[in-house]
Amino acid sequence: MRWRFPPLALLLLSLLSLLVEGASGFRICAYNVENWNWTKVSQSRVLHTLTRIVGRCDICLLQGVKDPDGKAIKKLLISVKRATPRYEHYKYKEVSSKSLGNSPTDMQQYVFIYRSGMVSVTGTHQYEKKQSFVRAPYAVQFQSNKTAIEKFVLVPLHTHPSKAVQEIDRLYDVFEEVRQKWNNTNVMFLGDFHASCAYMTRKNKKDIRLFSRPGFSWLIHDKMDTTVKDITNCAYDRIVVYGKPFLKGITVNSAKVFNFLKVLKVSKVKALHVSNHLPVEVMLKSSASLLQATPLLFLISISAIVQYFLSAL
């Protein structure tokens, strides 16, 4: 005998699945894709791997992008849209910085790819103070009614290895600038800081205001390995948030390194074709209204389904 659900039960199940999906949290990711350009995106295996990584995230910061004409990112966006039927009611968009750097042969962009049905961009700001950074942060303010913290600022940084300590310290100046610009202290710093091993030691922490000033929480810890190669064990890539309100809006212990080699069953050789780095991520808590609505709808849906089965007996 084949069971067939009535239209009301199917509708309730559909709504329930959307709410549970939203209530599961909001994922922010950061990934140094190392020289991401048209040549890389043209390699089908590389594109497939990055598509699976980006498709997990509500916002994904990509660093090391060398795509001034935007063609490589456009192709990635198309690939992500096609590969994520679960989120077919969302559209993927991107917001990018200009090409940044001191060398004409190594100009890079910060690129945010985000689900427009989950979050929107309310402002962007390119830090312009000269001689502070090789690739100055490109801050973006996002807003979402799906998260407990509805409005927050993401500040990316891909440091120059030889200037890692100085550039991480200068993030405090960027914090002050964006805080005043948007009157918002819900600020998250993320990216490849080179904040480990030879580039940043324990002794260096006293010279970095994101360690010495109160209010900053480092969510990716020193002992987390964000690299692919066995010869390295370094927490280069980091996520740092400011303030207790923002910290309370983050799911406890959700900040982690996403080892896609194990989860997606990708070989080390194939992973290195994308990057020597692993993505880092963190989950924001869902909005209170969403969490409150889910149990009620769940009970209504279960009740409707049970009544249907009982009436069929």
What the block records as the tokens of 264 is 């997606």
Q: Which of 230, 237, 161, 137 is CA-nearest to residue 192?
A: 237
Taking the domains of the chain in order of start, what are their residue ranges?
A: 1-24+292-313, 25-285
Counting runs of H as helices and runs of E as strands, what totals does the chain give? 10, 12
Tokens of 108: 């890079």
Q: What is the pLDDT along the chain (313 residues), one digit of tens a residue?
A: 444 545 555 444 444 444 444 456 899 999 999 999 999 999 999 999 999 999 999 999 999 999 999 999 999 999 999 886 655 567 899 999 999 999 888 999 999 999 998 999 999 999 999 789 999 999 999 999 999 999 999 999 999 999 999 999 999 999 999 999 999 999 999 999 999 999 999 999 999 999 999 999 999 999 999 999 999 999 999 999 999 999 999 999 999 999 999 999 999 999 999 999 999 999 999 986 444 544 544 444 555 554 654 455 5
Element (H, E) at 35: strand 26-36
Q: Which CATH number fits domain 25-285: 1.10.3720.10, 1.10.3210.10, 1.20.1300.10, 3.60.10.10?
A: 3.60.10.10
Say which DSSP state 165 is in.
H
Count the Cβ atoms, other than its own, within 10 Å of residue 24: 12
Which residue, chain included where needed, has tokens 């692993």? 278
Q: Could you tell me the pTM of the whole model?
A: 0.85
Q: At what angle do helices 288-312 and 7-23 cross, to 10 degrees?
A: 150
Contact 107, 99 (CB under 8 A): yes
171, 137 contact by CB (below 8 A): yes
Burial 70-92 (b: 16+ CB within 10 A, else e): eebbeebbebbbeebeebeebeb
Backbone angles phi, psi at 63, to 5 degrees: -120, 165
153 vs 144: CA distance, rounded Å: 12
Quick one: which of 8, 2, 1 has its CA closest to 304? 8
Helix, strand, coil shares of the chain as percentages rounded to 5? Answer: 40, 25, 35
Phi, psi (deg, nearest 5) at residue 136: -60, 145
